[in-house]
Structure 1
Amino acid sequence: MTYDPSKDGAEMDFRQRMSYGDYLQIDRILTAQLPLSSAHDEMLFIIQHQTSELWMKLALYEIQAARKMIAADQTQEALKMLSRVARIFEQLNSAWDVLRTMTPSEYTRFRDDLGQSSGFQSWQYRLIEYAAGNRNLAMLKPHEHRPDILEMLEAELARPSLYDEVLRRLARIGLPVPEEVLKRDLRQAWQFDEGVMAVWVTVYRDPSRYWEAYEVGEKLVDFEDYFRRWRFNHVTTVERVIGFKRGTGGTAGTSYLKRMLEVELFPELWRVRTEL
């Protein structure tokens, strides 16, 4: 006998009720894919980047919330959010596996239709970098044509990064974070600091005594670990699909992306391993 869910109480009439599609705005999402060519693989390219932007939206939401919790000395709540950020970047990493099913000849069929649009122009990605502490002011330029986006980026540059808030919290619990670090110019990118390194050495040599700081440090490493993998997968995917051609946005392509692999968000947390 054919199963009828309504016999078990399932709601089947949504003429006067909110449905799943209504709640999630499915119609708007599924009509946002507008290929500019007749190439079969352009749909893959669009959906991969659109879903990545959705995941980045959630990553920003969690990073901003975690930073707020740390500033309010609610570290335990922030740890859950930072764990989620790492898992989000794990999900973003998996997306490259799908995109890599597209061959160079397939991408060539619609690449010219992209014009000068490029992933490095993603303002959400820029916000994630700025929020984490990689504050490259030169990267404001691609967003100058959008005053609303530029305003968001400038607002981010005016507030302490996630790492800044962590270091301020360490100072509040009695660790000797250098005063010049606590009062640094927030618009500038984070630079390795020997005094901060000494703080993390103290924490990592006695984690039971400084458990909160130790746990926060490891959550930051988790985040950057997946973030680095995401950048590496980006490089290998681009090299696999376009080789060493220039990017659509005018960058040097893979050589530009490889330079980004050298950027460290939390350098002291990586180098402290050598000191133990």
Structure 2
Amino acid sequence: MIGITTVRGADEETPVNDPDTDPAAVTGDSAQGTPTLEFEGTTPYEDYVHASVLTGLQQPLSDDPGEMAFLVTTQVMELWFTLLVHEWRTARDALFKDDTERAMEALRRSLTAHRALNDSWRPIAALTPAQFNAYRTALGEASGFQSAMYRQVEFLLGDKSLSLLRPHRGHPRVHAELEAALAEPCLYDAVMDHLHRQGLPVPREVLDRDVTQPWTPHPGVEEVWRQVYAGPQGSPLVALGEVLTDVGELVWRWRSDHLLATRRAMGAKAGSGGSPGVAWLEKRAARSVFPELWTARSHV
């Protein structure tokens, strides 16, 4: 039993509370009351976190011990995607209301989450081909591009694609959520709307664009950011531009780390699920997020 040690006497063992492992054994000034150790059902912690659900989701399909790291890493990434979607939606909705304080708080929180997401590569970033091949067949047709939550991430960044909804037609709830996300403005659309209301010359065709289409760079938006950065460096709009640049940089690093980990583990082989593997990831990594924020710097 956790927290119990025994003292052996002449004829018996007497249980003794161990203060290093049993919180009920803490006494004196350091005690802040006796913790509840008895519950009729599951613990409140379990009811809130659903830890047993999370820790029961790992079901390796091979006998290779390395598959567990790959599976857990992938599942952890899905949770970070979920948090990023939450934060960027919060920021987007706040910007449409010109609530810059709430938007900036959400964007800054997303930076911390995204750094943790990027760090999630570490357990599998240095896989050798032999190590990956030991359980690769267990993946079957599964591929990261099929991740519905990552598609939500990409849609919020303005990388819209109707065709990438097709893998989810067999899951009505997920497909409906992606359809809704495709039809909603991306984070950058909300930024443009906010900049327009601050008196900056955001082109009308940008404000009225079809939000189901991917964002394409526009020279008028580049000029808007040039004007922002040519102004007072302590302004709220420069601060907004910089936190968005931080987001864009972290996305680029995420894509680059994905590319490097894949190239290291499997070289130029075709990816699972029919994807072209490294060639696909190279194309994705080359795309800038919030592109005019980067190009405008050449003209300030």
Q: Does 1:272 align with 2:296?
A: yes
Q: Does 1:192 align with 2:217?
A: yes
How many Å separate the matches in 1 of 2:299 and 2:84? 31
Summarize the alignment of residues 166-205 of structure 1 with structure 2, pairs less than 5 Å apart.
166-205=191-230
Summarize the alignment of residues 101-120 of structure 1 with structure 2, pairs less than 5 Å apart.
101-120=126-145
CA contact under 8 A between 2:91 and 2:107: conserved in structure 1? yes
Greater fraction of residues in helix: 1
SS at match of 1:97: coil
Letter of the structure 2 residue corresponding to residue 266 of structure 1: F
Return the offset for 1:28. 0.7
Q: Does 1:91 align with 2:112?
A: no
Return the offset for 1:101. 4.3
Q: What is the aligned partner in structure 1 of residue 250 from structure 2?
A: 226
Letter of the structure 1 residue corresponding to residue 182 of structure 2: L
Q: What is the aligned partner in structure 2 of residue 5 from structure 1?
A: 23
Letter of the structure 1 residue corresponding to residue 159 of structure 2: N
How many Å separate the matches in 1 of 2:176 and 2:232? 40
Decide which of 222, 240, 243 is 2:267's aligned counterpart: 243
Decide which of 38, 45, 48 is 2:63's aligned counterpart: 38
The worse-fitting range, judged by mean Cα deviation, of 3-12 and 116-125 is: 3-12
- Superposed CA RMSD: 1.6
SS at match of 1:99: coil
The worse-fitting range, judged by mean Cα deviation, of 12-21 and 252-261 is: 12-21
How many Å separate the matches in 2 of 1:156 and 1:191? 18
The worse-fitting range, judged by mean Cα deviation, of 88-97 and 41-50 is: 88-97
Q: Does 1:78 align with 2:103?
A: yes
How many Å separate the matches in 1 of 2:64 and 2:72? 14
C-alpha deviations, 1:52-92, integer Å up to 9, x for none?
00111111111111111111111111111111212212111
How many Å separate the matches in 2 of 1:10 and 1:133? 52
Q: Which has the higher contact order (CA 8 A, sep 6+)?
A: 1
Q: What is the aligned partner in structure 2 of residue 150 from structure 1?
A: 175
C-alpha deviations, 1:223-269, integer Å up to 9, x for none?
11001000000000001111111111111111110000121221100
Decide which of 257, 273, 280 is 1:256's aligned counterpart: 280
Return the offset for 1:22. 3.2
Q: Does 1:132 align with 2:150?
A: no
How many Å separate the matches in 2 of 1:204 and 1:196? 13
Decide which of 52, 66, 84 is 2:91's aligned counterpart: 66
Which sections of structure 2, spanning at least 5 residues, go unmatched?
1-16
SS at match of 1:155: helix
Return the offset for 1:109. 1.6
How many residues are treated as equivalent by the alignment?
Answer: 275
Could you say which structure has the larger radius of gyration? 2
Q: Does 1:217 align with 2:241?
A: yes
Letter of the structure 1 residue corresponding to residue 219 of structure 2: E
CA contact under 8 A between 1:53 and 1:124: conserved in structure 2? yes
Letter of the structure 1 residue corresponding to residue 271 of structure 2: G
**Cα gap change, 1:30/1:133 in structure 2, threshold over 3 Å: closer, same or farther?**
same
Runs of 4+ in 1 over 3 A off after TM superposition: 16-19
Q: Does 1:160 align with 2:160?
A: no
C-alpha deviations, 1:162-202, integer Å up to 9, x for none?
00001001111111111111111111111111111111111
Letter of the structure 2 residue corresponding to residue 46 of structure 1: L
Which sections of structure 1, spanning at least 5 residues, go unmatched?
none
How many Å separate the matches in 1 of 2:101 and 2:54? 35
CA contact under 8 A between 2:127 and 2:261: conserved in structure 1? no
Q: Does 1:56 align with 2:74?
A: no
How many Å separate the matches in 2 of 1:216 and 1:248? 39
C-alpha deviations, 1:91-122, integer Å up to 9, x for none?
11111121124332122121112110001111
